[in-house]
Amino acid sequence: MTALPRIALVGSGRMGSLHARVLAQSPRTDFTTLVEKNEETGRAVAEKWGVNWVPDFDSLDGIDAVVIAAATEAHYGIAKRVMELGKPLLVEKPLTPTYAQSEELVKESEKRGLPLVCGFLERFNPAVMTARQFVSDIAQIHAVRHSPFVPRIKTGVATDLLIHDVDLAISFLGEKPNAVKGSFGYFHEESRTNNAEDSADATMSFPNGALATISASRISQRKVRQLHVLEIDRLTEIDLLRRDITVYRHVEHEPARDGVGYKQQTIIEIPTLMPGGEPLAAQLDHFLNLLEAGAGSDEVAKEREAILPAHYAIEQASLSATNGHH
């Protein structure tokens, strides 16, 4: 039996501590090292899962792959160092804060033949995976991802929230958008100072005529994660938070009996979800499958190609919002 891949995790904040748990619980990994510059949090998380804590890394000898869950601003620098040391990596989304840096990392991973995964977690949501099995001729996608404000996130909602649904729309439609328009709003005092948008809406048109409208916001009082996939004869509503799907087919409608209001007949189906565990664990399994497939495999190349389209669309939305703003 071959030895399990030895994994190092960089970052033990909110996402990092979730990754630490998933790595420690996976029967397919040997989670050995936690890299965290803050000694107090780093030691606490490392002790909890019985791994070594180090404030930084230099050689990565004895490590087979790296998971990066540090703050977005730090992704580029850390990922570059990991690649220079020749290790495959899984990086939380966004890959980096800018499209240019993300493109550079993807090219670098290809040049060095390193598996690279960006943490688009919703791809592994059982409701998304189930809907993919049956939706086909999509005309329109409408997504809403709204959350209350979280002060610890310094970047805007475009790279933090909007990018998830932009990625889902692109993968559901199977092509890249040929036009992207964005509108951004800045409502908190510090958001204006940091140039970090509190709300971001994007409209994308696709070569096949399909449209996607996506709204992301952090000025909501509740968390909403909804994706509506519209085909000519069917509406599939996906609640990404509850992980459920409802399919609607309209039969007929007429005025309500007393002439007030509206009445319609609709067939509703609730499909059984494909069995899927926790998305973070499923994503880790996907990364481990790529490590097993090897650097030159089609799977690794396909994964690499699936990283940039959403990052590019976010950049386009951002440019369009900035131009419209001034």
Three-state DSSP at 285 gives helix
The domain made up of 123-278+313-325 is a member of CATH 3.30.360.10: yes
Sequence ranges of the chain with CATH classification 3.40.50.720: 6-120
Q: Per-residue pLDDT tens for 145-159?
A: 999 998 777 789 999
Confidence of residue 325 (pLDDT cuts 50, 70, 90): low
Q: How much is the pLDDT for 299?
A: 97
Alpha carbon distance 312, 211 (integer Å):
17
Q: What secondary structure letter does DSSP report for 61?
A: T
Q: Per-residue pLDDT tens for 237-277?
A: 999 999 999 999 999 877 777 777 888 899 999 999 988 78
Confidence of residue 326 (pLDDT cuts 50, 70, 90): very low
Which tokens go with 313? Answer: 């669309």
| Number of C-beta neighbours around residue 119 at 10 A | 24
Alpha carbon distance 218, 198 (integer Å):
5
Alpha carbon distance 285, 129 (integer Å):
15
Alpha carbon distance 139, 113 (integer Å):
37
Sequence ranges of the chain with CATH classification 3.30.360.10: 123-278+313-325
Q: How much is the pLDDT for 222?
A: 96
The structure's pTM equals: 0.94
The domain made up of 6-120 is a member of CATH 3.40.50.720: yes
